[in-house]
A and B are shown apart, each in its own frame.
Chain A
Amino acid sequence: MARIVGIDLGTTNSLVAYMDKGTPRVIAGRNERNMVPSVVAMTDNGLIVGDPAKEHLTRNPARTVYSVKRFMGKSLADVQSELAYFPYTFTEQGGVIRFKLGEKTYSPPQISAMILKELKLRAETHFGESITKAVITVPAYFNDSQRQATKDAGMIAGLEVLRIINEPTAASLAYGLQEKTQGMVAVYDLGGGTFDISILKLKNGIFEVLATNGDTHLGGDDIDRLIADLFIDEIRERHGLDLHTYPDYMQAVRLEAERTKIRLSDVLKTTATLDLPDGKGRFTRELTRDQLESLTMGLIERTLAPCRKALKDAELTPEHIDEVVLVGGSTRMPLVRQRVQELFGKTPHCELNPDEVVALGAAVQADILSGGTTDMLLLDVTPLSLGIETMGGVMSSVIRRNTTIPAGAKEMFTTYVDGQTGVDIHILQGERELAKDNRSLARFRLKVPPLPAGVPRIEVTFLIDANGILNVLAKDMRTGQGQSIEVKPSYGLSDSEVEQMIEDSFKFAADDVSARKLIEARLDAGALITTTEKSLLEGGHLIASDNIAATRTALAALSAAKDGTDPRVIRARMADLEQAAKPLTVAHLNDSLTKGLQGKKVSEVT
């Protein structure tokens, strides 16, 4: 069985993990960072992803996509209210949003696929083998379209998505395995863009989800936005500048708002600073944790109603909950911890890194699927009720929310008019009474033999699989013949569009690879130049002058090569420099070791 990796495809950051002899581990990149920022930039040298792309947020905002997860499975109308916050041009095609980056347009699954490819490459570099299978996590409250879009992203990235699992349940797998959590567990997951609450019963290796709830448009992004809006207003008042007309500064203010928020999780007071455009100087603003909390209190309150609903659906009260687990970077905020603790009446767990725990859980699920872990089993639920539109535009529920998946239900259909040859079926997802208030998932037409009204009997089976994705089957009860149904998704890519995108991704893969090799070589060269120059400065006096001269020559050669476009030349000059600087490196290292040891007791030197 080929290796299966676990992927957390997050709003802000993404990670890939695997199971290493019974322990899940995150695979770090060459920069030794575990997280890949979920940012994709279209540069003149091609597409770049992650940390290097993040630098383009302020440099080239119109062509740098972040928070793509907020757009998965959505139409333009769904996200109208927040389009103004994003610096790129949107279009729509067949109910699917497209980002216009330069000449081309990309769907959210295509952008997500680029992040997935980066993670795939990380795993391939780590294992030295090709990786083609993955478990990918999604917010528990993701609907069918959003799940399908995630699966499409996997396919476009060349990954067979063996399972889509819910982020809070993934986290519970990691906690169950590593912390031996048992009993009734509430997982509170507040990430960059989404909020989930799941209530589980953990017993003898079975992870049974009792209820789940959430908000797929509530997370750290929204908190940053509140802070950024505060700064923008004050900049307008104090400096007479409207930052909205400067897309690059809008990004800078957003990033500074995020950093300010993060700092205020550790300190009670901090100062945000931002250089202003047009030589208007610098904006500085002191912000206290109290101020941040009164600003964001409303948003954090919004997470509590879903918690109460989930408890109610699970037929539990807070006293029944044995453990509360915090997941997602936004749970580092003291106010979030405080409110969660007040609601459940117990101190929440955060032993596992809230940024990594979902990826670790995905790795555990991957191991279950590959047959490695056999004592654990996850029984998840569908977060939203599934139904069909009936006469008068009312939704009739077919599978209720919080039903354990896989879940199936059958409905019988017939005709109202003699000789009618088709029945139109509109599938919906949501909790509202009227069809129009729920999410339209798909429409299809049942083929019916022309017979007197009421005679045909077509049985339609709705089956939600273990990924939470709907499958529809139809059978003519008179003939026993099955009928294949072409389901047209309301907000998703069609099969042929996905095919085309997979093809495109292969076509551009070659370009992408060479572009990426160049970018990486340049980054590595830059890092080597910086460290060598630093060593020369600090340790130049330790080596012979001809060694210094050789090092300087090699440095100049690398600097020249770095501006070229051939990554192989850059790598060669890097090797030259490393060779030339060897005496310096060794001398410098010995020197700093000796210095470091001075003044320390023997017991500290191990």
Chain B
Amino acid sequence: MDHQHRHSSSPRELQMARSMCWHCQSEVSGEYFCDRCVKVQPVSKELDYFTCMGFPRRLTIDPRQLESKFYELSRAFHPDFFQNKSAEEQTISLGNSAMLNSAYRTLRDPIQRAEYLLDLEAGAVKDIRTSPPADLFEEILELQDTLDEYRAADRASDTAATLCAKLQMERTTLERRQQDMENALQQLFTQWDILQDRGEATDQTRAERDRILKHMRDILSNRTYVKNIVNDLVATIS
């Protein structure tokens, strides 16, 4: 947590769609409003959410800082404050607000934030596919069979009781695995942030960076899969 105070003290300037004011054609130096004619400027559609909200591409973000930035920008962009303005300004306000709301929603949640970062940074490895963890493959197949058997069994029978006990054990195992994955993700987030903070661009850091992203991608893919299985399991035995 203590890294980010250093960074947030100098957030990147918000990039605008054009460097020139759409209204008075004077140069816009990078704030949300033109210095000269004070008209709101459209946030570029190509702008990433981190830059949009003035945060570096880090995976640990203080939720309170994010919230106060969200509130600050909402006060700047919200259509409520453009009721008396021109139609162009109202359209820009609407677009900027919608973009800001998407940015906040994505960055607020650590998992969505990581998935979004992967999409931005990881290039070829960015696709997150819901897939089972390789080492658990056999176990999960077996679990699916047990689940089917249990569903077919008479609930009052001894067989069902045995199956249920077995499923309970599987549940404990999987939930432990989920916790492990969360911890591993946290570690990767920290590693990514340290690397980002160093800001070096050597071959070594590039390789390290790719390793982190790929590992993160794998965990995120497994995570969703295991989550679905656990939900299914809990719904069946409860």
What is the interface of chain A, defined by CB distance below 8 A to chain B?
A: 1, 162-163, 203-204, 206, 208, 365, 368-371, 374, 377-379, 403-409, 463, 465-466
Contacts and interface: CB of A to CB of B under 8 A. Distances in A.
A379 B74 contact: yes
Contact of B75 (A1, A203, A377): A377
Contacts of A365: 80
Given A204-B71, A206-B74, A379-B74, A369 B80 contact: yes
Interface stretch (B97-105, B184-192, B217-225): B97-105
Contact of B98 (A206, A208, A371, A408): A408
B95 interface: yes
Given A162-B83, A371-B83, A465-B79, A406 B98 contact: yes
B75 A406 contact: no
Contact of A370 (B71, B78, B83, B94): B83
14 contacts: A203-B71, A206-B71, A369-B83, A371-B84, A374-B81, A378-B80, A379-B78, A406-B79, A406-B94, A406-B97, A408-B95, A408-B99, A466-B79, A466-B94
Contacts of B84: 1, 370-371
Contacts of A463: 94, 98
Contact of B101 (A204, A378, A407): A407
Instruction: Give 3 closest A-B pairs by Cβ, nearest first.
Output: A408-B98, A406-B98, A404-B101
Interface in B93-139: 94-95, 97-99, 101-102, 104-105
B83 A406 contact: no
Contacts of B97: 406, 466
A168 B78 CA distance: 20
A266 to B, nearest CB: 40
A401 to B, nearest CB: 12
B98 A407 contact: yes
A377 B78 contact: yes
A368 B95 contact: no
| B-side interface mostly | helix
B80 to A, nearest CB: 5
A509 B95 CA distance: 39
Contacts of A409: 102
B48 to A, nearest CB: 15
A408 B102 contact: yes
Contacts of A374: 81
B102 A407 contact: yes
A405 B98 CA distance: 7
Contacts of B80: 163, 365, 368-369, 377-378, 466
Contacts of A377: 71, 74-75, 78, 80-81
Contacts of A206: 71, 74-75
Given A204-B71, A377-B74, A466-B78, A405 B101 contact: yes
B74 A406 contact: no
Nearest to B80: A368
Nearest to B67: A203
Nearest to B94: A406
Residue from A203, A204, A371, A466 with most neighbouring chain B CB atoms (10 Å): A466
A403 B108 CA distance: 13
Contacts of B102: 407-409
Contacts of B79: 406, 465-466
A1 B84 CA distance: 8
Interface string B63-101: 000000001001100111101100000000011011101
Nearest to B75: A377
A208 B74 CA distance: 11
Nearest to A408: B98
Contacts of A368: 80
A208 B81 CA distance: 16
A368 B75 CA distance: 12
Contacts of B75: 206, 377
Contacts of B74: 206, 377, 379
A479 to B, nearest CB: 17
A406 B71 CA distance: 14
A374 B75 CA distance: 9
A404 B78 CA distance: 11
Contacts of B95: 408
B47 to A, nearest CB: 14
Contacts of A406: 79, 94, 97-98, 101
B39 to A, nearest CB: 16
Given A408-B99, A408-B102, A465 B83 contact: no
Contacts of A465: 79, 94
A368 B71 CA distance: 16
A186 to B, nearest CB: 20
Contacts of B98: 406-408, 463
A553 B47 CA distance: 83
Which of A163, A378, A405, A408 neighbours the largest number of chain B CB atoms within 10 Å of its CB?
A408
Contacts of A403: 101, 105
A203 B68 CA distance: 10
Nearest to A381: B101
A369 B79 CA distance: 9
Nearest to A162: B83
Contacts of B101: 403-407
A374 B79 CA distance: 13
Contacts of B71: 203-204, 206, 208, 377
A55 B39 CA distance: 54
Contacts of A404: 101, 104-105
A406 B78 CA distance: 8
A409 B97 CA distance: 13
Contacts of B104: 404
Nearest to B45: A410
A463 B90 CA distance: 14
Nearest to B104: A404
Chain A CB within 10 Å, residue with most, of B78, B80, B81, B105: B80
